[in-house]
Amino acid sequence: MPDAKFLDDIAAKFSALLAASPAKDIEKNMRAVLTGAFGRLDLVTREDFDIQREVLVRTRARLAELEARIAELEARAGGKPGA
């Protein structure tokens, strides 16, 4: 069984080889391209999306309450909408 030092040396050399390879440059360039593309898109974070969803839920509930209240007031007024 190979000793740990030998395996560590091989791992270190392999890491150095990958760092010097074009793969590192490709990864760096792809990150730059994707960052630029996402920057041009109109995206929101998940946190902002969840906040807006909660606002919409509350707004819909309030709208339903107001619609029910209007219906009740119209019924009291004799059923004449706009009167």
Domain ranges of the chain: 44-83
Q: For residue 59, give the H/E element and its range.
A: helix 46-76
d(CA 35, CA 12): 30
* pLDDT of 34 higher than 90: no
More confident residue, 64 or 45: 64
- Let me know how many helices (H) and strands (E) the chain has, helices first: 3, 0
Report the pLDDT averaged over residues 38-63: 92
pLDDT of res. 5:
80
The pTM assigned to this predicted structure is 0.49
